[in-house]
Amino acid sequence: MTGRLPYAPAFDHLVYLRVFEGCNLHCEHCFIPSNPKRMTMDDLKAVPEKVAGFAPEGSTIMLQWHGGEPTMFGAQWLDDAIHTVEEAGPQFKWQHGIQTNLMTYGDDWVPVYKRHFGGEVGVSWDPKIRLMRRGDAASNDTYERKFWPNFERLLADGLDPYMVITFTGTFVRHFRDPYRFFQMLEEHGVKRVHLERVTRTGYARENWGRVGLDNAEYSAAMGRFMRAYWRYREMRHVVEAHDRLHVSPLDGLFQSVERLHAGQAGGYGCWSGSCDTKFHTIDANGYKAGCT
């Protein structure tokens, strides 16, 4: 998990709230094995007190509602949870982000996403490795048949998704032609996507032979996708910017190169993009510095 969220507004501190570590999918790369650990409303009421341990009053705090699957308890629960945190911490400016697999999506989520998330919804998707049942590769077809109609429904509801895809060995083999990947995204109406490096933790550890990439493989594959994306952008330059596909961290890498050519400092230092040191994790066990 990279420290800075793609496409997020400015914030002083980023806090991952792992509200529930269970899930309604089995993803072969998931870094958090499914388990029953969950945060109660009392735990959420204590979040501002924990935040006060590292953030001064008036700070802008980005809460990333995470899991597991953070939508498992329903839209009303999440609405109540957000109100609980904000009412307990009026000394902070709260912003909210979420990452969901869309398996629970329905009409009741629309007002919650519009009211608390500005209509922006982080959506996770990966080819082949998202299963409805552990060990049942065929159940990926069932997942796909549910995911894409829900994604289309989300767009029709006026919400603005950004997609998070893990850059796994499975992904690289599935999209041997990067152009096919970019075209698929645009055909489905995806405008923003973030490619996140797979880490050898959780379920990924036991499936590393399929999903893993070593450093050399990762660098070579990212370089190939970056070159293909450059050419794809050149072909699509006539498309209005707001309708164009944007891929993180590739767009940022191009901007970093342009800064270097202009003699300016800063920019990305690695393939994973921009990492922020001001991030934290809070779960049912309490507070941890950094991302866990």
For position 224, which CATH number holds?
3.20.20.70
pLDDT at position 263 is: 82
Q: How many domains does the chain have?
A: 1
pLDDT digits (tens, 9 = 90+) for 27-85: 999 999 889 999 999 999 999 999 999 999 999 999 999 999 999 999 999 999 999 99
Residue 8 in domain? no
Please, which pLDDT band fits residue 5 given cuts at 50, 70 and 90?
low
**Which domain does 83 fall in, by range?**
13-289
pLDDT at position 265 is: 74
pLDDT at position 215 is: 95
Residue 137 in domain? yes
Residue 5 in domain? no
* Tokens matching residue 204: 């990924």
Residue 1 in domain? no
Residue 6 in domain? no
Residue 2 in domain? no
Residue 285 in domain? yes
Q: How far apart are the first and last CA of the chain?
A: 9
Q: CA-CA distance, 62 to 19, in Å (whole number)?
A: 15
pLDDT cut 90: percent of the chain above it = 80
pLDDT at position 275 is: 59
Please, which pLDDT band fits residue 268 given cuts at 50, 70 and 90?
confident
Residue 4 in domain? no
Helix axis angle for 215-235 and 250-261, nearest 10°, is 80
